[in-house]
Amino acid sequence: MPDFAAPVSRLIEELKHLPGIGQKTAQRLAFYLLRADREQALALADAIRAAKETVHQCSICNNLTDVDPCLYCTGSGRNRRTICVVEEATNILPIEKTRQYNGLYHVLGGALSPLQGIGPEQLQIKSLLERLKTGAVEEIIIATNPTAEGEATAMYLSKLLKPLGVRVTRIATGIPVGSELEYADEVTMLKAMEGRHEL
Amino acid sequence: MPVRESEAIILRTYPLGEGDRLVSFLSRAEGRVRGVARGARKPKSRFGASLEPLSHVRIWFYERETRQLVRISQCELIESFLEAQRSYNANVAFGLIAEISEAVLPEREPSDPAFRLLLATCRAIQSRGSIALPIGYFTLWTVRLGGWLPSLDHCAACGRDLAGQPGWANTEGSGVFCRQCRPPGSRPFSAEALATARTMLRGSLEKLAAAGTRVPDELTNYWMDLIEQHIERKLTVRSMLELAP
Ligand SMILES: [Zn+2]
Ligand SMILES: [Zn+2]
């Protein structure tokens, strides 16, 4: 590796920790920041610091928030009988964008992944069970990703939750809107058939 | 760059960049390969369910000069094990065999036996309730194919026939010994356990399953110890494994 000045190397190393950033991209970003206006570069540093220092996990749903509990947990218009379970806080936004769902959320903090050493204890499952104790929740919508890990997590949760007398549903998976059946593989098609509904 | 086509099993994938996937797969023709599938995490990805772990697929890829990673251009499902992975135990078992394959198989060295072993194990986990036999079989054969399996027939010191006898494996993993020659600290195997291991080296997984073969945990743990010794690290998934049904 070529020798950069120590502060430059340090910046490159830090950038490399970001997901999807390798050595070359880190170098490019580092030199971009060094060439940029002082204000612009420091604004980024300040934004990272401010976000890191003020944003926390919601103590109820584990969403990332600067007020605790978060706005979804305290919102007056939210339906408290439904909880939608997602893997990551970033999964909430696409659901909110539908403007169809106004229930609560619960962020697991990932999915079951033996390869990454993530078992049930590493996920926010106990805190989900805690939330059901009041008896106010009638339905849990499991919106984990339709991947092997997300499916395994969904199945695990449903086995755990159903005996508690709560209705457990899974978001539909299958043919994406705008695509054609001809190009769907058999697993996707099977999911679409399983998830069919009355018209 | 010419596009290559191969039967393969997906071992593991990692999210990469904006909507891409880094895919590690075991190609029947080319051994373990790592490549990039552009857009594979997006809803309308042309890869569909084909890149999920342990999918048995036909894959098309091409080399890119100066890059270690190939580019995956197309992938079609032959056989999916996605449904089977919904059960927690099976999910852990699939994770373990993927982790072991990634750790022990060198990149770009084709091994038809390793490919067939992995595929047979996936099918067995899918069709059986219990994962103990498939995992025992897979770990034993991984050790055997790797060339690290000590003789189970003769004492490593005096050469005595161990048939019908218990045996003791030394901690270095280099041999199984008779009662007289056993080194201090060696772990014991009953005569029945050794007989089971010998049967597992002779029969197919299907036949063993049909015969109701039960693999003692002590054996599977021994094979996993040998694997960990060889790769010089602990297997991440091992701690999550509960072999008993
Ligand atoms: Zn909240
Ligand atoms: Zn001996």
Task: State the CATH number of the domain containing residue B13.
Answer: 2.40.50.140
B232 in a structural domain: yes
Lowest mean pLDDT among A18-22, B149-153, B157-161: A18-22
| B135 & B213 share domain | yes
**B15-32: b (≥16 Cβ within 10 Å) or e:** ebbeebbbbbbbbbebbb
User: Considering just the CA atoms, what is the radius of gyration of chain A in Å?
Assistant: 21
- Res. B245 pLDDT band, cuts 50 70 90: very low
Is B245 part of a structural domain of the chain? Answer: no
Q: What is the ipTM of this complex?
A: 0.84
Query: CB-based contacts of A168: which residues, under 8 Å, 6+ apart?
Result: A139, A140, A142, A157, A158, A161, A162
Residue B18 has pLDDT above 90, yes or no: no
Last residue of a domain, one of B45, B79, B113: B79
Residue B219 is assigned to a structural domain of this protein: yes
Tokens of B136: 């025992």
Please give, rounded to a whole number of angstroms, the shortest distance from the CA of A156 to a CA of chain B.
Answer: 7
Distance A186 CA to ligand 2 centre (A): 56
Q: Which residues of B touch A (CB under 8 A)?
A: 12, 15-18, 43-44, 46, 48-50, 52-54, 76-77, 80, 82, 85-88, 91-92, 94-96, 98-99, 236-237, 239-240
Q: Does A54 touch chain B (CB under 8 A)?
A: no
Q: Where are the domains of chain A?
A: 78-173
Radius of gyration of chain B (CA): 20
Q: Please report, as a single letter, which amino acid is at residue A16.
A: K
Chain A residue with CA closest to B238: the answer is A114
- pLDDT at position A179 is 87
Residue B243 has pLDDT above 70, yes or no: no
Instruction: Show residues of chain A in contact with B98, CB under 8 Å.
Output: 115
Last residue of a domain, one of B79, B100, B131: B79
Give the pLDDT score at B128: 73
* A20 vs B contacts (CB less than 8 Å): 15-18
Smallest CA–CA distance, residue A120 to chain B, in Å, is 10
Put simply, whether A3 touches B (Cβ < 8 Å) is no
Q: Is the pLDDT of residue B198 over 60?
A: yes
Q: Looking at the domain assignment, is residue B172 inside a domain?
A: yes
Q: What's the whole-number average pLDDT of chain B? A: 93
Across residues B192-214, what is the average pLDDT? 94
**A38, burial (CB in 10 Å: exposed 0-12, middle 13-18, buried 19+):** exposed
pLDDT tens digits along A124-164: 999 999 999 988 999 999 999 999 999 999 999 999 999 99
Average of per-residue pLDDT across B192-213? 94
The residue to which tokens 């962020």 are assigned: A107
| Cα-to-centroid distance, B175 and ligand 2 (Å) | 10
Residue A31 above 50 pLDDT? yes
Residue of B68, B82, B96 to mutate, interface with A, max A Cβ within 10 Å: B82
Please indicate, yes or no, whether residues B10 and B129 belong to a single structural domain of this protein: no
Of the candidates A148, A154, A179, which has its C-beta nearest B53's C-beta?
A: A148
Span from the CA of A17 to the centroid of ligand 1 (angstroms): 28
**What is the architecture of the domain spanning A78-173?**
3-Layer(aba) Sandwich (3.40)
CATH number, domain of B194, equals 1.20.1440.120
- Chain A positions touching B92 (Cβ under 8 A) are 114
pTM: 0.88
Q: What is the model's pLDDT at position A2?
A: 56
The CA distance from A175 to the nearest CA of chain B, in Å, is 9
What range defines the domain where residue B162 resides? Answer: 86-240
Of B147, B148, B125, the C-alpha closest to B137 is B125
Q: What confidence category does residue B242 fall into, taking pLDDT thresholds of 50, 70 and 90?
A: confident
- Which residue, of B56, B79, B102, is where some domain finishes? B79
DSSP-derived 3-state class of residue A147: coil
Tell me whether A182 touches chain B (CB under 8 Å): no
Tell me what the mean pLDDT of segment B8-35 comes to.
94
> B15 vs A116: CB contact, 8 Å cut-off?
no
d(CA A98, nearest CA chain B) in Å? 16
For position A140, what pLDDT does the model report?
A: 98
Q: How far is the CA of B174 from the centre of ligand 2 (A)?
A: 14
Question: Is there a single domain that holds both residue B143 and residue B58?
Answer: no
- B10 lies in the same domain as B104: no
Q: How far is A184 from chain B (nearest CA, A)?
A: 7
List, for residues A82-129, the tens digit of each pLDDT value. 999 999 999 999 999 999 999 999 999 999 999 999 999 999 999 999
Residue contact B52–A148, C-beta within 8 A: yes
Q: Are residues B90 and B192 in the same domain?
A: yes
Both B135 and B212 in one domain: the answer is yes
CB contact under 8 A, B77 and A186: yes
Q: Which of B140, B231, B19, B74 is nearest to A145 (CA)?
A: B19
- What are the pLDDT digits (tens) for B82-125? 989 988 899 999 999 999 999 999 999 999 999 999 999 999 99
Split into its structural domains, chain B has a count of: 2
Q: Which of A20, A152, A185 comes nearest B85 by C-beta?
A: A152
Same structural domain, B138 and B47: no
CA–CA separation, B127 and A27 (whole Å): 50
Put simply, whether A181 touches B (Cβ < 8 Å) is: no
Mean pLDDT (whole number) for A178-188: 89
B188 Cα to the center of ligand 2, angstroms: 14
Mean pLDDT of B168-175: 90
Q: Are B167 and B176 in contact (CB under 8 A)?
A: yes
Residues B42-69 pLDDT 10s: 988 999 899 999 999 999 999 987 678 9
Q: Indicate whether B90 and B140 sit together in one domain.
A: yes
Instruction: Output the pLDDT for position B117.
Output: 97
C-alpha distance from A148 to closest chain B C-alpha (Å): 6
Pairing of strands B4-16, A167-170: unpaired
Determine the distance separating the centroid of ligand 1 and the alpha carbon of A107, expressed in angstroms: 9
